[in-house]
Amino acid sequence: MRAQVFSRVLLAVVAVHMISATEVWAASPGTCESVVTLRLAKTTLATQSVSDTTYSPSSDIPRMPVAPFCRVAGVSQPVSGSRIGFEVWLPKQNWNGRLKMFGNGGYSSALPYAEMAAHLKDGYAVVATDTGHTGDLPNFAQYSPEAVVDWGYRAVHTSIVNAKRIVTEFYGRNARFSYFQGCSTGGHQALMEAQRFPEDFDGIVAGAPGNNRTHLNAGFLWQFVQNQVRGGSRARSFPRASLRC
C-alpha cells in the first residue's frame, strides 16, 4: 500500500516538473564579481564570466554547448582535515528558478560537467562537488577520517547549502525548487541526503544506489581475487587480448 502511494506521489511530482520545467522565472541577475564578495562560512570563492556558446573547464575536456553563465568555484573547509571543492553554474539569462545538483560515480572526484552543461542550457542553475578529495581511488580515505565524512555525506550537504546562498546572491531571490540526481555513488549520496538533511532538496532521484558499501566492496574484492591466477601470480586469468570480440 505504501509503495502504491509513493508511486502515485512520485508520478505526480514528475508530471508537475515536466510541465513547468521550461518555465522562465523572471529575475535580474547580478554579476560574477558580486558573488565573490559573498561571505560563506569557512569557504572561499572564485568566479568566471562565460559568454561563449561552447565551453570547457579544462584542456582535457571537450568543449560543450552552453548558455552564457557565471561559473563559481568554491572550496569549503568546515573542519580541520576537510577540503570540499564545488562548482555552481548560474545562467545569465532565462533562469527557470530551479537549482539542480548532480551526484558522483564510484570514488571519483570528477564533476559531471556534461550533465551540468546540458541542464544549464535548459535554464537550471547547477551544482556539483568533488566530494572532498581528488582522484578516482578509495585510498584518499587512508589516515583521513574527515575525508571519509566528506565523501560519505558532508560534501553534498555543505555544497548545496552554499549553492543556495550563491543563487540568492546572484539572482536576488531564492530558488523555487532544488533537486538532486545521482546514480551509483550518486544514489548513495541521494539516500544520505534524504535521511540526514531532508530539507536540502524538494526532489531527489536515487538511481542504482551503492549504499550497502560494506557488502559492495566485499563483492568487488571477491571478483578481483577470483579473476587472478592461483599460486601467487598476479597475472590476470583473462589477458586483455582474450577479451576482444
Q: For each of the chain's 245 residues, which pLDDT tens digit applies?
A: 444 433 443 434 444 444 445 566 655 688 999 999 999 999 999 999 999 999 999 999 999 999 999 999 999 999 999 999 999 999 999 999 999 999 999 999 999 999 999 999 999 999 999 999 999 999 999 999 999 999 999 999 999 999 999 999 999 999 999 999 999 999 999 999 999 999 999 999 999 999 888 888 888 888 887 777 666 666 666 666 766 65
Torsion, CA 80, CA 107, CA 114, CA 60, rounded to 10? 90
Using the structure block, give the residue that is written with the C-alpha cell 576482444: 244
CA distance 171 to 6: 34
Which conformational region is residue 129 in: left (phi greater than 0), alpha (psi within -120 to 50 degrees), or beta?
Answer: beta
174, 166 Cβ separation under 8 angstroms: no
CA distance 26 to 226: 58
Which residues are within 8 A (CB) of 70 and not within 5 positions of it... i.e. 6 or more apart?
29, 31, 32, 35, 47, 48, 49, 50, 89, 90, 92, 170
154, 82 Cβ separation under 8 angstroms: yes
Question: What are the chain's domains?
Answer: 24-214 (3.40.50)
